[in-house]
Structure 1
């Protein structure tokens, strides 16, 4: 074993390599992205690593590999479980032979956007084991154990992390990679196991699934992964925690000791899994303690189960947690919050002024909207949409423009204020159709990025085409899955695809679906893009405007040449049109004229297009 500096996500990846993983697939989504990113450029003979089209596809690729005996893992954020769950529950019923691990990173506190979803609920619904590492070392070790457990019970296993584990960095003891082993992949043709063809088959599979979960509980208990510590004297306080909250509890007790808060001896049950419920350990704690504090982020799954077990045992226990409003179902925990709960459970005063202050960096940030990067092609697209609507004499508050997930959603913020909605991957097009069906008479536009379109936008566009909806769709193609860190997607240029992969031409994909009208534009050309949107709105049927220009950050990294922009000081009136309309972070207001940060500017020319005095020009012209 070697001590190595890793992130939580890297620990998951290294644990999978140590376990001999043969297939790793997933879709990028913060806070889970770096698992595959950390493997992407490694030389891994015998192991396939891919960014899949979406999470459902990623899981199906991994699941089939495990069904023929290989060890496989797929990765996603909590929102991705929604996408993949249709297949997850099906494979959970059928089971697998090789180890199959689903890594999901939840985001209590919503650090990375989307819903504050507790994926443990999905494990409950699927009757699937879910391991929950609370430290970097546990992330590494439990990933290996997840593969062992999966093979032992012949069923997929979740590994659930949270942002504070996935994105943290520290030292972990790791070992060399183990090469995958599966010389003779084989799938037994077994209709009763691998299909749902009839009620009897599905019910038998459900029964077997419950038996596999019970076996998982027994194996976890035998390995003594959950840590139960009972105080010498019965009748006191017990604390139940899971995953990352285990560390918060230990830190809270340490703070209490430093502050000389008089705590009695406390019992504890520190869990590495919520599902399957550690019922035997829960019962021991409930029989021993008169008060139980339950510390778990988001949903009260452990707390509710403890209530039920206490009722079944006939013991009288005071519970402190979410059901008595001590803790919230919203947000992430920290040691301070846990310490408050401990003090409340013990009826002790917890003085606010003596507790360490909670640092909130956002309070020290400048008040500014989150906008697109300097040179981002999406800036030109949103400027064009706004200008087209004005040219057509529409008011901004009467034309619905639906938004979608990714960098494109920044069109909801100033200075654009263009988008009205953001729901889930690919929802922009069906929602636009729904608004029209709902009776909206004025034009409705849908916007969507290229990666999101490949992920989940195609079915919505097909539906609009089939039903002949009078709808304008603006697809913003920057060639990358940019918001999560520049991962490749099917439309990324060939130089960045894996050797065995090829690029798909998004223009041909859209045309092949049979849209009524397709116009491809360069969003740096504000005039042409505006005209294309105006024309599309006026045409009947399903119209797509494909705005194509590579992500400015990636273009800069690839040393794509551009013509620098400069300001003619004599012509600049400091009217601020370039700042107000574009919102470009490379432009600021100088003493005598606007100034352009050459380090950020890539010469897109959008500021030139809106300057009323022609004071912004290409350098040397």
Structure 2
């Protein structure tokens, strides 16, 4: 392909989508070039591999990138850094980052897209928001420790939910919880794990909790997909990656087969029933597993219709509890009043927390 920088210079481009690299194709590309600039985030793995390929095929092509100082060995890359590297500027300082370099005149003249003025946030209608609220209500007064994991639900660490205290690596929430329970035996420890990660690397940790009778509370956030990486299916969905129907592996059945005695399934959009189950689990003296099951909000676009909620401004007291407790992006203030915008997917948890009963379903609308 061809990459254009500053709209006036074209450079031949070789795109690597996956490892291992096609050595013959890479060598054929490098034969056409005196110098190759490797643009990759993280460690210079591709840069090192291309250097080996150049050596193997006896090419004189110079390989540049993070290792030879064209880019800093730390920090993220952007268009400005790539433009500077292509223009011949050396980036040898380990402290040079995207924020510390001047933006070129040509970059300043380009129209810049409007960026959302907000931090990363769970989607409107995300069932994880309800799950975090539920466990916060049930366990926070007991000074609970919440272990998190890799996925969209890592965002549960932010206010106002504040329900993720740790995040290490995929599947670590169940095992970290066990260590923390040994260190803090008087405090309840609740471990959150997505349904995909449960199948990927959560089951051994669950078995270990059973084997050692460690009374942690394991929560499987089952949103029926692998949302963070593109909505891939998982063994609990009953459909493989090729779209074919297959056996559904139920986390509840797996937990029971592994010896967990307290196993429950709840609908996180039913706040009162879910809080009651969470409270029951916290009182149980052994390990417990609770599956909180509701489809990911992004899957709703594939369904026919969905609900929508609205605020009755005549009865709303403008207390802000819905905004302050949930942090849903569909809940906003408009002209000083609480308003529900068009991103609402009809989960209805705001209506359940509203003390004045001023939020209600108003219509079903097509996607």
TM, length-normalised to structure 1: 0.48
User: Who is 1:68 aligned against?
Assistant: none
Pick the aligned partner of 1:158 from 20, 24, 31: 20
SS of aligned partner of 1:483: helix
Deviation, structure 1 residue 241? 4.2
Q: What is the alpha-carbon distance in structure 1 between the residues aligned to residue 255 and residue 357 of structure 2?
A: 37
Deviation, structure 1 residue 525? 0.8
Q: What is the alpha-carbon distance in structure 1 between the residues aligned to residue 325 and residue 111 of structure 2?
A: 29
User: Who is 1:417 aligned against?
Assistant: 162
User: Who is 2:84 aligned against?
Assistant: 336
Deviation, structure 1 residue 337? 4.1
RMSD: 3.9
Contact 2:263-2:288 at 8 Å conserved across structures: yes
Deviations 1:299-337 (A, max 9, x none): x3xx5xxxxxxxxxxxxxxxxx28xxx733332351214
Deviation, structure 1 residue 515? 0.8
Output aligned runs, 1:467-486, within 5 Å. Answer: 467-486=212-231
User: Who is 2:318 aligned against?
Assistant: 574
Deviation, structure 1 residue 496? 8.4
Contact 2:232-2:241 at 8 Å conserved across structures: no
TM, length-normalised to structure 2: 0.78
Deviation, structure 1 residue 573? 1.0
Contact 1:412-1:419 at 8 Å conserved across structures: yes
Cα gap change, 1:135 to 1:158, in 2 (>3 Å): farther
Deviation, structure 1 residue 448? 0.7
Q: What is the alpha-carbon distance in structure 1 between the residues aligned to residue 104 and residue 308 of structure 2?
A: 55
Pick the aligned partner of 1:372 from 122, 137, 151: 122
User: Who is 1:227 aligned against?
Assistant: 31
Deviations 1:415-465 (A, max 9, x none): 212101112111111111121233453111110111111111111111111
Deviations 1:494-531 (A, max 9, x none): 59873352322222222222212112110001111112
SS of aligned partner of 1:158: coil
Cα gap change, 1:342 to 1:566, in 2 (>3 Å): closer
User: Who is 1:586 aligned against?
Assistant: 330
Query: What are the ranges of 5 or more consecutive residues in structure 1 without an aligned counterpart?
Result: 6-133, 144-156, 161-215, 231-239, 246-269, 286-292, 304-320, 345-350
Q: What is the alpha-carbon distance in structure 2 between the residues aligned to residue 566 and residue 427 of structure 1?
A: 39
Q: What is the alpha-carbon distance in structure 1 between the residues aligned to residue 361 and residue 206 of structure 2?
A: 39
Q: What is the alpha-carbon distance in structure 1 between the residues aligned to residue 249 and residue 139 of structure 2?
A: 32
Deviations 1:197-217 (A, max 9, x none): xxxxxxxxxxxxxxxxxxx8x
Q: What is the alpha-carbon distance in structure 1 between the residues aligned to residue 48 and residue 288 of structure 2?
A: 54
Deviations 1:112-145 (A, max 9, x none): xxxxxxxxxxxxxxxxxxxxxx9766559xx8xx
User: Who is 1:38 aligned against?
Assistant: none
Q: What is the alpha-carbon distance in structure 2 between the residues aligned to residue 410 and residue 549 of structure 1?
A: 18
Pick the aligned partner of 1:445 from 167, 190, 196: 190
SS of aligned partner of 1:554: helix
Deviation, structure 1 residue 343? 9.3
Contact 1:225-1:271 at 8 Å conserved across structures: no
Pick the aligned partner of 1:596 from 331, 336, 340: 340
Contact 1:377-1:523 at 8 Å conserved across structures: yes
Q: What is the alpha-carbon distance in structure 2 between the residues aligned to residue 220 and residue 591 of structure 1?
A: 59
SS of aligned partner of 2:278: helix
Q: Does 1:565 align with 2:315?
A: no
Cα gap change, 1:361 to 1:471, in 2 (>3 Å): farther
Q: What is the alpha-carbon distance in structure 1 between the residues aligned to residue 112 and residue 255 of structure 2?
A: 41
Q: What is the alpha-carbon distance in structure 2 between the residues aligned to residue 605 and residue 225 of structure 1?
A: 55
Contact 2:192-2:219 at 8 Å conserved across structures: yes
Contact 1:242-1:274 at 8 Å conserved across structures: no
Deviation, structure 1 residue 225? 5.1
Query: What are the ranges of 5 or more consecutive residues in structure 2 without an aligned counterpart?
Result: 3-10, 41-46, 93-100
Deviation, structure 1 residue 568? 2.3
Cα gap change, 1:580 to 1:272, in 2 (>3 Å): same
Contact 1:373-1:585 at 8 Å conserved across structures: yes
Q: What is the alpha-carbon distance in structure 1 between the residues aligned to residue 91 and residue 348 of structure 2?
A: 60
Q: What is the alpha-carbon distance in structure 2 between the residues aligned to residue 135 and residue 587 of structure 1?
A: 47
Deviations 1:253-282 (A, max 9, x none): xxxxxxxxxxxxxxxxx9971345627858
Contact 1:135-1:244 at 8 Å conserved across structures: no
Q: Does 1:357 align with 2:107?
A: yes
User: Who is 1:613 aligned against?
Assistant: 356
Greater percentage in helix: 1
Q: What is the alpha-carbon distance in structure 2 between the residues aligned to residue 541 and residue 360 of structure 1?
A: 60
Q: What is the alpha-carbon distance in structure 2 between the residues aligned to residue 343 and residue 388 of structure 1?
A: 52
Bigger radius of gyration, 1 or 2? 1
Q: Does 1:278 align with 2:55?
A: yes
